[in-house]
Structure 1
Amino acid sequence: RLDGMFAGAFHDRKTARHVLFRDPLGQKPLYYCSDDRGLIYASEVRAFQELSDRTWRIDREAFRRYLVNAYYVADTSPFQGVRKLLPGMLIESVDGTVRSERWWDSIPGQDTIKVDAIEAAEEFERLFERSCSITMRSDVPVGVFLSGGVDSSMVLDSCHRLVPDIKSFSVSMEDADYDEGSKAREVAKHVGVKRHTSIMMDQEALLASFDGLMHKMDEPQADPGFVNVYYLTQQSRPEITVALTGDGADELFGGYIPFVGVPFESVFHAVPDSLIALARYGVTRLLPGSDGYVGPQFRALAYLQAFPAARSARASVWLSTLPADELENLMPLAEPGFFDPTRTDGAFRISNEYHEVSSGMSSVQRLLYYYQKVFLPEFVCHHTDRAAMMHSLEARSPFLSVPMIEFANRLPNRFKVSRMQLKVLLKHVLKQRQFPDPIVRQRKQGFTFPIARWLKQSMRPMVDALSDIEEITDGEVSLKELNRMIDQHMDGRRSYYRIIYNLIVFRAWRKRNPGLTFA
């Protein structure tokens, strides 16, 4: 059985048989299409444009889903007819016939093990030490990307035990809501790391990193953290060639804010639609918009937009950039009801497809499953791997080894989410390792920059440039509706940074590909 991060292909010249395969959680990309010549595949979607006898066009439906999710979800890509191979899948092409099968899978809640807290912690420690030891194997310099949060602190502590002179790197910012430097320095000092580097990222560095990233970006991906990883890998590359990260811990052990809302899911599902709409209105009137990281208004609206919604689509709706009614107003060319979250097709079709497997799971397990199969590969792993590769640096995560994944998915829910506490087991292990309570109990902080505020400042010219968005999107996006959102964002009534940034990224990608047209 293969373990690690990879995407590959076998070609048997005698039988003209092709086999494509991708790693368990999609850390490495692989795109393909099939035509009368057979199977065409590449690790970058831009490579397909080198085929001079083909005309590639932008997939409208995939673009609409991109605006909903901020990335090209599951097997979709910007190009019509080009698909991504899903994680843990292989496809075989023989004599023009293409078939696919899953070569690896792990499902939360399947074959749950019976363990107490002591046994769970001991097994985690055993597996994690092994995973860190393997991911640190290298004949080039290795370091750790340290945010000061639970996940990367765990990685640094384990790696330091194995290699005492390990280096660590973090990003600092002047804005306290987004600064990781002070926490990271505290963790590095506690662990005993002697060579920790804190790299300041100001608005000037952001603009330079954004321009560099947009120039190299293969497909639109609007996670602001992509810029952070790009900058961190660029600045650390002179000292290290391999970096260890904490990617995957949130998806395996329940670290995201929506897990806190799971206990209230059945209550809100029973509330009439009219009252949900009234609650949303009340939130926008009573809670001020915030430029901070996931402010109260942002959290409340994100949670409420999943009601009403088909239970199968709820995980996807919680993560979507806008509620359905605003998506419909923003994208008037979409068929009526395309963004309706109560439908099992349309914008949330992919979420419903995964529900067929997860329908027998608990709410926590179903959310874990969606995060692992959809969000982790094409949002988290995508930005980490691509940003690192842009600087010839390899990023690895000890959490994403097959034994770690399978162990996490066999753990009972109480070791992940319990009484509104997240990542229960990981915090328990850190406490056993004598980490200070402020580090163990800190609130979730995403790896990003103050984008809501900086859109009003250094990035304002990018916002103003969206005046041509109807031309850029072939009429898919309404400039009138977008301007309404921009106005409300700029005067602080509502944080619309996600959809604004989505369009900034898409516009930058489109400008670099002027020959492409919408299908």
Structure 2
Amino acid sequence: MCGICGLTTAGDADHAAVVTRMNAAIVHRGPDDAGSYTDATTSLAMRRLSIIDRAGGHQPIVNEDGTLVIVFNGEIYNYRELREELLRSGRHIFRTQSDTEVILHAFEEFGERVPERLEGMFAFCIYRTTDGSLFFARDRFGEKPLFYWHGDGRTLAFSSELTSLLEWEAIPRQADLDALHVYLRRAFVPSPWTTFAGVRQLPPGHTMTWRNGVATVRRYFALQPREDAAFEDERAAKEAVRGALLSAVKRQMESEVPLGAFLSGGIDSSGVVAAMQRQSSRPVKTFTVRFAQADYDESPVARCVAEHLGTEHREFFVPNNAFDAEDLWRVVRHVGMPFADSSAIPTFYISRLIRDHVTVCLSGDGGDEMFAGYQTFRWTQQLDRLAIAPGFALAALENVFAAASRFPGLGGSSAVRKARRAVHFARGSANERVWSIGEMFSRDEMDSLLADEHHAARRRLADDWLNAQVAALDGMSRLRQMMAFRQQLSLPEDMLIKVDRMSMANSIEVRAPLLDVGIANLAARLPDKHLIRGDVKKYILREAIREWLPDEVFSHAKMGFGIPLHAFVNRQYVELCEDLLLGDRDGLTAQLFRRAALESFVRRGLDRISDRADLSVYRASHQLWALLQLAAWAKAFRVTL
């Protein structure tokens, strides 16, 4: 695992000095080693967290004749098989045992199709010294990041993190308002956008070639669901899932440094840990977070799993009301963009605490996306049935629930709020229902909040873009459309950002066996009936691992990994909100938002401590967190409109 960066320019910039600064900004991603390559036009550099071939895997690596140079971030799980294939050809000479060198020689053999042969998580750059071209690739689901800028057509800069990329002073620190509208609407920034105008991220499953000042981006992977009759039989499907999980976990347990696993007590992480323990000669090191608030705390189930499997288990306690200002700035600094997912806070803390015990950690990330684990999938299917009702009837019903929320005695009713929201979403289009159920700010809230005279057009652009992503999934079953949306957007732009940035901030490598390409391709071939059966989500995964785990894993309600954000409000939190959102009358937020509406969002985000008929405490607190993230990002990076 590493961080990579580089700069190629036809101008007179001191590219070596710039890249030295860029590399220093990502030292946390690779504290064990550093390396660089420089010629007349191009500099490449990397920081290394040594996991495989610790003695010989120094980067950059240059091929035999000096025509290719590679910097690489990630792990390739099938590198041994590829290495043997390349050796059998008789055309390659290896000087190391590292997966990095395998990629370089595979590029010589297969050209720009090389990512299709790689199984793992990766982002890399290969520089061709003969013509000055650069080839980039990013893994299928976006586990490893890659950002770039080529604003003037003569220069291209890239890095694993935005903070590092911005060490190149030529990059303007201007907000991308279209990206910000998507962020406010749906709480993530989708590739290739970033919130910096002109700065892009290479989308998952894509390659990019930079040649003669032109960047050409190509998609090499898209998961195509297609039911396979071989898995119509439940027993066959169950055995295939179990075998694929064992295989993926075994491959990802290879490490020359201490290895463990996150264990939440949920189905995904419990299944991964069970597969690890079945293939380990010693107790697996497992780690979980314990929260003070019971309805956010899965640690009793995790403890039960650990005892059942015989792991070496540790719990780390995260108290309520322990918010520190650095919790905000840290997320902004490492993500480089506003990041609305507050679970980045506990992800950082557990990563920091386990760093004393392991360097590599396996996780259950990707299980919900691959095997249909989200409750919103069932809700959307129910909304589809509700949407059959005439539009006028739904409009009247929404008005009834809106009025009911103001009745004495019903103001605290969550049932009224949920019913009103259900009718509201049912009134939308079929495509809209796939994404709007997870919206951060509604259309009305956006209209009340945004002061920009062009905001309505940008908000429509955001909605149109989101609808177009769903429309591109036409031909899939309804369930597969919802899964694909999650796989292509929410997973890489939220879940995997959180895991990568917060773990790498502590020099921890996190691997996700449930995102193994073999598991993904298998899950895509399963009949929908094996994914959700009645009210049971991830049905076939549950059945595949049931005999490995205690009943408590399957009987307790799904929680997800999050914090009771409203309970973290303390004096520091209040002061940050007042300073960044209300105190700065000349900054980005003051220019973007209407003052009165902003004050209202801040007050209700700070004051709401329980669910009511008009608004849930979760929504109120996380809308405020999303705004606070945006304001902190703008201040930290001195962003202008």
Q: If the length of structure 2 is used for normalisation, what is the TM-score?
A: 0.74
1:429 corresponds in structure 2 to 544
Distance 1:113 1:387, change over 3 A: farther
Give me the whole-angstrom Cα distance separating, in 2, the residues matched to 1:303 and 1:507.
31
Change (3 A) 1:448 1:360: same
Aligned to 1:503: 627
Larger RCO: 1 or 2 (CA < 8 Å, sep 6+): 1
Report how far residue 238 of structure 1 moved: 0.5
For residues 100 and 188 of structure 1, the distance between their equivalents in structure 2, rounded to whole angstroms, comes to 45
1:59 corresponds to 2:180: no
**Structure 1 residues 149, 45: CA separation in 2 closer, same or farther (over 3 Å shift)?**
same
Q: Look up the match of 2:562.
A: 448
Question: Which residue in the other structure is 2:309 paired with?
Answer: 191
Aligned partners of 2:185 and 2:442 also within 8 Å: no
1:233 and 1:393 in contact (8 A); partners too: yes
The reply on whether 1:222 has 2:340 as its aligned counterpart is yes
Partner of 1:397: 512
After superposition, the C-alpha distances for 1:71-115 in whole angstroms (9 at most, x for unaligned) are: 212321021011111100112222233322111221234667543
CA contact (8 A) 2:323 2:573 kept: no
In the alignment, is residue 77 of structure 1 matched against residue 198 of structure 2? no
Secondary structure class of the residue paired with 2:119:
coil
The answer to whether structure 1 residue 319 and structure 2 residue 438 are counterparts is yes
Look up the match of 1:379. Answer: 494
CA–CA distance in structure 2, aligned partners of residues 202 and 298 of structure 1: 30
CA contact 1:5–1:28 (8 Å) conserved in 2: yes
In structure 2, the partner of 1:260 is 378
Tell whether the 8 Å contact from 1:42 to 1:48 is kept in structure 2 after alignment: yes
Match of 1:5, SS state, is: strand
Separation (CA, whole Å) in 2 of partners of 1:269 and 1:301: 13
| 2:233 paired residue number | 116
Residues 358-377 of structure 1: matches in 2 within 5 Å?
358-377=473-492
Alignment check: 8 A CA contact 1:173 1:179 kept: yes
SS of 2:225's equivalent in the other structure is: coil
Q: In structure 2, how many angstroms separate the alpha carbons of the residues matched to 1:462 and 1:287?
A: 34
| Aligned residue number for residue 448 of structure 2 | 329
**2:262 maps to what in 1?**
145
Q: Percent identity?
A: 26
- 2:204 aligned residue: 87
Match of 2:640 in 1: 517
Structure 1 counterpart of 2:245: 128
| Per-residue deviation, residues 251-282 of structure 1 (Å, max 9, x unmatched) | 11111121111332333324425236326525
Cross-structure match for 2:297: 179
Does 2:165 correspond to 1:48?
yes
Question: Are 1:351 and 1:370, in contact at CA under 8 Å, matched by a contact in 2?
Answer: no
Alignment of 1:196-211 (within 5 A): 196-203=313-320, 205-207=322-324, 209-211=327-329
CA distance in 1, matches of 2:508, 2:244: 25
3-state SS of the aligned residue for 1:358?
A: coil
Q: Aligned ranges for residues 348-359 of structure 1 at < 5 Å? A: 348-359=463-474
CA deviations over 1:156-207 (Å, ceiling 9, x no partner): 11111112311111001111011122121111112222x2111010136542
**CA separation of 1:183/1:62 partners in 2, compared to 1, >3 Å: closer, same or farther?**
same
Compared CA separation, residues 224 and 280, structure 1 to 2 (3 A): farther
Matched positions, count: 507
CA RMSD of aligned residues (A): 2.5
User: 1:199 and 1:462 mapped to 2: Cα distance?
Assistant: 27
Matched letter for residue 417 of structure 1: I
Q: CA deviation at 1:389?
A: 0.3
CA distance in 1, matches of 2:173, 2:323: 32
1:334 deviates by: 5.7
> CA 1:19–1:305 in structure 2 vs 1: closer, same or farther (change >3 Å)?
farther
Does 2:439 align with 1:439?
no
* Separation (CA, whole Å) in 1 of partners of 2:153 and 2:601: 46
Q: Equivalent residues in 2 for 1:273-312 (5 A)?
A: 274-275=395-396, 277-278=398-399, 281=402, 284-285=405-406, 303-312=422-431
Corresponding residue for residue 287 of structure 2: 169
Counterpart of 2:94? none
Residues 297 and 478 from structure 1, CA distance in 2 versus in 1: closer, same or farther, beyond 3 angstroms?
farther
Query: Which residue of the other structure, out of 483, 495, 504, is the alignment partner of 2:599?
Result: 483
SS of residue paired to 1:185:
helix
Counterpart residue type for residue 462 of structure 1 = L
SS in 2 for 1:9: strand
Name the aligned partner's letter for residue 294 of structure 2: A
Partner SS, residue 73 of structure 1: coil
Change (3 A) 1:256 1:299: farther
- Checking the alignment, whether the CA contact within 8 Å between 1:206 and 1:227 is kept in structure 2 is no
Unaligned runs of 5+ in 1: none
Question: Following the alignment from structure 2 to structure 1, what is the Cα–Cα distance between the partners of residues 137 and 384?
Answer: 39
- With 486-495 and 50-59 compared, the bigger mean Cα shift is at 486-495
What is aligned with 1:32?
148
DSSP-derived class of the 2:591 partner: coil
Matched, 1:420 2:535: yes
Which runs of 5 or more residues in structure 2 are unaligned?
A: 1-116
Answer yes or no: is the 8 Å Cα contact 2:383–2:422 preserved in 1: no
CA-CA distance at 1:367 after TM superposition: 0.2
Which structure has the larger Rg over C-alpha atoms?
Answer: 2
Whether contact under 8 Å (1:93, 1:99) holds in the other structure is yes
Question: Helix, strand or coil: the match of 1:6?
Answer: strand
301-310 or 505-514: which moved more?
301-310
Deviations 1:20-62 (A, max 9, x none): 1100000111112333214332222223322233433111121
Q: Which amino acid aligns with 1:46?
A: T
> What is aligned with 1:101?
218
* Paired letter, 1:315: V
Judged with a 3 Å threshold, the aligned counterparts in structure 2 of structure 1 residues 74 and 317 are, in CA distance, closer, same or farther, namely farther
Q: Distance in 2 between matches of 1:359 and 1:96?
A: 36
How far residue 512 of structure 1 moved from its aligned partner, in angstroms, is: 1.6
Cα distance 1:117–1:4, how it changes in 2: closer, same or farther (>3 A)? same
1:23 and 2:144 are equivalent in the alignment = no
Offset, 1:317: 1.1
- AA at the equivalent of 2:449: L
Worse-superposed segment, 452-461 or 363-372:
452-461
Distance in 2, Cα, partners of 1:102 & 1:173: 41
In 1, are the aligned partners of 2:359 and 2:507 still within 8 Å (CA)? Answer: yes
Alpha-carbon contact 1:7-1:29 (below 8 Å) kept: yes
